[in-house]
Amino acid sequence: MKTIQDTNLKGKKVLVRVDFNVPFDKQGNIADDTRIREALPTINKLVSDGASVILMAHLGRPKKGGFEAEFSLKPVAEYLSKLINQEVVFTQSLLGSEVENLCKNLREGQVMLLENIRFYPEETKGDKDFAQKLALLGDAYVNDAFGAAHREHSSTATIAQFFPNDKYFGLLMAREVENLNKLMKEHSKPFTAVIGGSKISSKIGVLESLLNIVDNLVIGGGMRYTFYKALGYNVGDSLCEDDKIDVAKSLMSKAKEKGVNLYLPEDSIIADDFSEDANTKYVPEMNIPDGWQGMDIGEKSINKYCEVVLNSKTILWNGPMGVFEMKKFAVGTNAIAKAVAQATEKGAFSAIGGGDSVDAIKESGYADKVSYISTGGGAMLEFLEGKVLPGIKAIEQ
Ligand code: AMP
């Protein structure tokens, strides 16, 4: 793997694709700066080597095809300036003589951030001409945006072809690939995957792929009700994808064929409304009464799941066990977070990915007690499905 770790790009103008797609609160402040901080090792390494750093990033999903104030990266440039203790030059346009001159005049160790690359509709189309114009701004290309590595966009993939001998993985990207390879190819057994979240439909690929490598597949979240229905239980008003019942059946029979232990929650905390103020009840079985919906896993499931996790040597966790955004229904998710941390303390390798599970592990206070937290939700899932990510392929080929 060709990473910036093994090279010194002193004196070069280095175009670096980073993932600065951070959330903002209602006051317009950055609500979670993890993604910016995760890019710092790469930025700092290039700065200390004496490269001029030209950062490319996107924010949100602008639709108009041009500048939209709410998606501007200007606040991110200001925030980054404070983190790296130097002014970050910010450009409002990405193409044209002004930005070309700014890039040309960048001194060694200086950092510049280009405005939201998705203000140009060519970006998400992976447009080659656009990528070539961007490429003219630099002498080398670094991809450190693991969170966008599953996208075949101009700045994440297409651009790499214009740097056949000068394209590198950034340090974050390298760490992600290394950890995910470890998970897929070099794991110790027993290997347990805990998969939750809202819908089965967004995780079919990863569930199928995991059945080839894990010993235990532990299911939680809203997706479990599709499995319940497939088994003939009543799901009441719970989240259930009727058109995925066959998928649930096929996953269960594949698990049996492959000797994978597939765990479904035996009990639920249910509510008469999807709200924090709803009336709640415990049901010790898989039948959910009409007028009620499943919101969290129950105590029997929590105990069983924690036991499985604690007896594992490798753990992958993606997706919450319940509607954890409502405190009342975060008990199962927090218990899993704690069990993953405890298993890690006992020597297991643990990997966590997906925005919600990452939020959950942070909120539970165990974030620094797990082996590895991925910065990519969709990218991580696609990697685990065995897909070749365009952002990775573009650097490797
Ligand atoms: P995902 O993005 O697919 O990983 O799903 C995460 C979302 O699943 C979170 O917003 C949770 O609130 C939601 N979720 C978890 N359990 C349930 C449930 N029992 N019913 C409805 N939504 C759920």
Q: Summarize pLDDT for 239-271 with one digit per residue, the tens.
A: 999 999 999 999 999 999 999 999 999 999 999
The reply to whether ligand 1 has any atom less than 6 angstroms from the CB of 194 is: no
Give 356's pLDDT tier (boundaries 50, 70, 90). confident
CB 396 within 8 A of CB 168: no
Give 96's pLDDT tier (boundaries 50, 70, 90). confident
Which pLDDT does position 376 carry in this prediction?
Answer: 86
Helix axes 34-49, 171-185, angle to 10 degrees: 120
Which pLDDT does position 311 carry in this prediction?
Answer: 98
The reply to whether ligand 1 has any atom less than 6 angstroms from the CB of 325 is: yes
The reply to whether ligand 1 has any atom less than 6 angstroms from the CB of 269 is: no
Cα of 17 from ligand 1 centre, angstroms: 31
Which pLDDT does position 380 carry in this prediction?
Answer: 92
- Give the mutation target among 206, 356, 363, 380 for probing the ligand 1 site: most ligand atoms within 8 A of CB: 356
Which pLDDT does position 233 carry in this prediction?
Answer: 97
Mean pLDDT to the nearest integer, 19-34: 91
Average pLDDT value over all residues in the chain: 95
Give, as one character, the DSSP assignment of residue 48: H
Q: In the predicted model, is pLDDT for residue 214 greater than 80? A: yes
Cα of 262 from ligand 1 centre, angstroms: 19
Burial of 68 (0-12, 13-18, 19+ CB in 10 A): middle
The closest-lying atom of ligand 1 relative to the alpha carbon of residue 325 is 12
CB 224 within 8 A of CB 264: yes
- Which of the following is catalytic: 2, 199, 300, 338? 199
Which pLDDT does position 354 carry in this prediction?
Answer: 81
Give 94's pLDDT tier (boundaries 50, 70, 90). confident
The percentage of residues in the chain with a pLDDT greater than 70, rounded to a whole number, is: 100
Q: Is 118 a catalytic residue?
A: no
**How many H helices and E strands in the chain?**
14, 15
Residue whose CA lies nearest to ligand 1 atom number 13: 198
Cα of 361 from ligand 1 centre, angstroms: 15
The reply to whether ligand 1 has any atom less than 6 angstroms from the CB of 320 is: yes
Q: Is 199 a catalytic residue?
A: yes
The closest-lying atom of ligand 1 relative to the alpha carbon of residue 354 is 4
Give, as one character, the DSSP assignment of residue 222: T
Q: In the predicted model, is pLDDT for residue 221 greater than 80? A: yes
Which pLDDT does position 260 carry in this prediction?
Answer: 98
CA pair distance 35, 173, nearest whole angstrom: 12
Residue whose CA lies nearest to ligand 1 atom number 1: 197
**Is the bond preceding residue 190 a cis peptide, omega within 30 degrees?**
yes
Q: CA nearest 360: which of 322, 316, 306?
A: 322
Cα of 55 from ligand 1 centre, angstroms: 34
Q: Is 126 a catalytic residue?
A: no
Q: CA nearest 196: which of 340, 310, 343?
A: 340
Cα of 101 from ligand 1 centre, angstroms: 48
CA pair distance 254, 227, nearest whole angstrom: 14
Q: In the predicted model, is pLDDT for residue 355 greater than 80? A: no
CB 376 within 8 A of CB 145: no
336: left (phi over 0), alpha (psi -120 to 50) or beta: alpha
Residue whose CA lies nearest to ligand 1 atom number 18: 222
- Among 55-64, 183-192, 275-284, 353-362, where is mean pLDDT lowest? 353-362
Q: In the predicted model, is pLDDT for residue 397 greater than 90? A: no
This prediction's pTM:
0.90
Encoded tokens for 347: 């020597």
Which pLDDT does position 234 carry in this prediction?
Answer: 97
- Among 54-58, 202-206, 273-277, 284-288, where is mean pLDDT lowest? 202-206
Residue whose CA lies nearest to ligand 1 atom number 11: 323
The closest-lying atom of ligand 1 relative to the alpha carbon of residue 318 is 4
Q: CA nearest 299: which of 287, 289, 285, 315?
A: 285
CA pair distance 124, 258, nearest whole angstrom: 39
The reply to whether ligand 1 has any atom less than 6 angstroms from the CB of 323 is: yes
- Give the mutation target among 224, 275, 323, 329 for probing the ligand 1 site: most ligand atoms within 8 A of CB: 323
Encoded tokens for 323: 């509607």
The reply to whether ligand 1 has any atom less than 6 angstroms from the CB of 239 is: yes
Mean pLDDT to the nearest integer, 371-387: 91
CB 191 within 8 A of CB 314: yes
Domains present along the chain, CATH in parentheses: 4-175 (3.40.50.1260), 187-384 (3.40.50.1260)
Which pLDDT does position 310 carry in this prediction?
Answer: 98
